[in-house]
Amino acid sequence: MTIYFGYEKPQVIQALRYHFISRREIRVMLILVNVFAIASIALYAFGKVTAMAFLTGSFLWIVLMVSFWFILPGIVYRKAATFKHEFSMTFEDDNFTLSHEKGSKSWPWTALKNYVESPHFFHLYFDSRSFFLVPKNGCKDTDEVHALRQLIKEKVKKG
């Protein structure tokens, strides 16, 4: 099976958000920051902390959320030249090949640690920080998306 694709910025930004928020350490940090925010609201309501302490905590919460939701995905998108090119990708029983006008590279399925499926992409992870986004809109139709999903499920463990 061969698919042809380019990347659309809004979908890539959403996929990068999904990647960052699905990382365990970031998820734990977000939970702790939200617990801190709820605790600061409660402590302020009961008069245990001053308004300045509450506002400082709220400001830090807002900065963290804006960073993970807007700034970090935007920086990664701007720095990665990958998202500005057109590709073809061929999936076979023993490997998959990524092709570009300047060349191609093949990997055995065993090179992938795991995969994650998001609304618009299959995230193929080589390790916890190195991954490739395969857009579902590169497939001709929903049947081809389903066939690709089945192939990836057979070859790679789900993360």
Domain regions of the chain by residue span: 9-79, 90-155
Determine the pLDDT at residue 68.
85
Determine the pLDDT at residue 23.
85
Q: Residue 90 contacts by C-beta under 8 Å, 6 or more apart in sequence?
A: 1, 2, 96, 97, 99
Determine the pLDDT at residue 42.
93
Per-residue pLDDT of the chain (159 residues; tens, 9 = 90+): 999 999 999 999 999 999 988 888 988 988 998 898 889 899 999 999 898 988 888 898 899 889 888 999 999 999 998 899 999 999 999 999 999 999 999 999 999 999 999 999 999 999 988 999 999 999 999 999 999 999 999 999 886
Determine the pLDDT at residue 122.
95
* Torsion angle, alpha carbons of 125, 136, 27, 69, to 10: 120
| Contact (Cβ atoms closer than 8 angstroms) between residue 4 and residue 137 | no
114-117, strands of its sheet edge to edge: 114-117, 121-125, 131-135
Q: Which residue in this structure is represented by tokens 């139709």?
A: 141
Determine the pLDDT at residue 137.
94
Residue 46 to residues 43, 49, 63, 65, 93: CA-CA distances in angstroms?
5, 8, 25, 26, 63
Read out DSSP for 83-140? GGS-EEEEE-SSEEEEEETTEEEEEEGGG--EEEE-SSEEEEESSSS-EEEEEGGGSS
How far is C-alpha 100 from the chain's CA centre?
22
2-5, strands of its sheet edge to edge: 2-5, 87-91, 95-100, 103-108
Determine the pLDDT at residue 129.
83
Determine the pLDDT at residue 150.
96
Rg (CA), the chain: 20
**SS3 label, residue 4:** strand
Domain covering 90-155: architecture: Roll (2.30)
